[in-house]
Amino acid sequence: MAIPMLGSTLSGANILLIVILSILFTNAVMIYKVLGHARKKVWSSNRAKHVILILQGVGDILVGLFPLNIRYQSFLGTLSLGDIACWQRVFAHTFLFHVMPLVHAAGILLLVVESALFWRRGGRHSSGRRWCSPRYLAAAFTPWALGLLVAVPLVLLGFDFHTCSVKAYSLPVIQSFYWVTIICPGILALVAACAFSTSSLQRADKLDDEHFSYAFISGDPCASPSSVIKSGLPPCRESVHTKPEETLKTPEMEAGVPKPQFAGKIQNYASYHLSKFWKTSNKYSQNLEDNTDLVLLDGRSRGVVSAWTLTDGQPTLRWEKWTRLAAAALFCACSVPYAAMDLTLLYCGPGCEWSSGGQASGVDILYRLLVLRSLISPLVWIHEYN
């Protein structure tokens, strides 16, 4: 296992310090954004993705505070690698190169599955539980359970802490570190994100036709022709839509004395049936009540309701598809090349024809790229919550 160096000069230390501070800042902003959205109790606020992203942000903050901080102190000369205990170096290396990549790849895969299930249910709440419920917490801790129960034992079992070397490992065991924790999870997450981004989610469209096609005109509940049998409501009349001069006939209006309380009754009646027949989330119900209004036509009151359909959630669905695909692609672009480089060096062995300078330079560049993943990935999720 190669343990690369970013550089030993003061400029390298300054660059690393900027990277550490940027990682801490971007992940703190991401956690703040996610918490702010989850606590508003609005539509889609009780989803498991909030806890998943918060825990990923905490993991990236630990990357800046633990492995990168050790490297930064060694650059400054205040702490040489020889002064650092072997177990600290090994744990820092394991956390940065194996635990966090597996946590991120599994987290992206879990986010893809969560989004697919959410939108296949019609874009409604996946359950009535709060975003911090035990069920969502258990789902969010699944990537961390994989990282701690798979990556840590895989790397540390059999490690010689007395000599602080991996010479006791066989070549297939060392190669399995990268296949299990970086390459296979990254490819699986990318394939799942591509499948989700190209899916049509036809079941959600079916729910749209079945549950969101009711119309309420002039306070009378009716159903569109496509949902009369399913809903049991009478069909909407053509004359209601084509003849705006027809109005409700009431004793108050026939007497020529329109009373304000009657208008309120129409609105309350429409709102009641909206809440009864439209089985939607809080966002849809709120929008329906907001869109229930009274329009004066020739001085006469008329109840008008504008329908809310799942097509209003399509921009959010498209954005989630893009962010998950972007996160998976960024993970593979930042993490897989370093693993491929190390695997190539392991396969090649001492007989490699690469110069030592070129080898060190290549590993150094790919190491920088792997570290930048902790900085770039939060930016994708921040944009999703904007």
Residues 106-124 pLDDT 10s: 999 999 999 998 888 776 5
For residue 347, the enclosing domain spans: 10-205+312-384
What is d(CA 349, CA 335) in angstroms, rounded to the nearest whole number? Answer: 22
Based on the fold, state whether residues 28 and 103 are members of the same structural domain. yes
Average pLDDT on 161-174 reads 84
Q: Is residue 222 part of a domain?
A: yes
Is 300 in a helix, a strand, or coil?
Answer: strand
Does 363 score more than 60 pLDDT? Answer: yes
User: What is the model's pLDDT at position 167?
Assistant: 74
User: What is the model's pLDDT at position 41?
Assistant: 66
Based on the fold, state whether residues 347 and 380 are members of the same structural domain. yes
Q: Are 84 and 171 in contact (CB under 8 A)?
A: no
Q: Is residue 1 part of a domain?
A: no
What is d(CA 336, CA 355) in angstroms, rounded to the nearest whole number? Answer: 23
**Per residue in 222-260, pLDDT tens?**
544 444 444 455 555 444 444 444 444 454 444 555 455
Based on the fold, state whether residues 100 and 180 are members of the same structural domain. yes
Based on the fold, state whether residues 240 and 122 are members of the same structural domain. no
Based on the fold, state whether residues 297 and 316 are members of the same structural domain. no
Based on the fold, state whether residues 35 and 115 are members of the same structural domain. yes
What are 114's strand-pairing partners?
none
Q: DSSP alpha helices (H): ranges in 99-165?
A: 100-120, 134-140, 142-146, 152-156
Based on the fold, state whether residues 326 and 367 are members of the same structural domain. yes
Does 262 score more than 70 pLDDT? Answer: no
Does 133 score more than 70 pLDDT? Answer: yes
Per-residue tokens: 259: 């009373």
User: What is the model's pLDDT at position 39?
Assistant: 82
Closest CA to 90 of 25, 150, 155, 29: 155
Based on the fold, state whether residues 78 and 185 are members of the same structural domain. yes
Based on the fold, state whether residues 322 and 360 are members of the same structural domain. yes
Total count of domains within the chain: 2
Give the end of a domain, one of 273, 308, 343: 308
Based on the fold, state whether residues 155 and 284 are members of the same structural domain. no
Based on the fold, state whether residues 143 and 236 are members of the same structural domain. no
Does 103 score more than 90 pLDDT? Answer: yes
Mean pLDDT of the chain: 74
Is 160 in a helix, a strand, or coil?
Answer: strand
**Per residue in 66-83, pLDDT tens?**
999 988 888 887 777 777
pTM of the model: 0.70
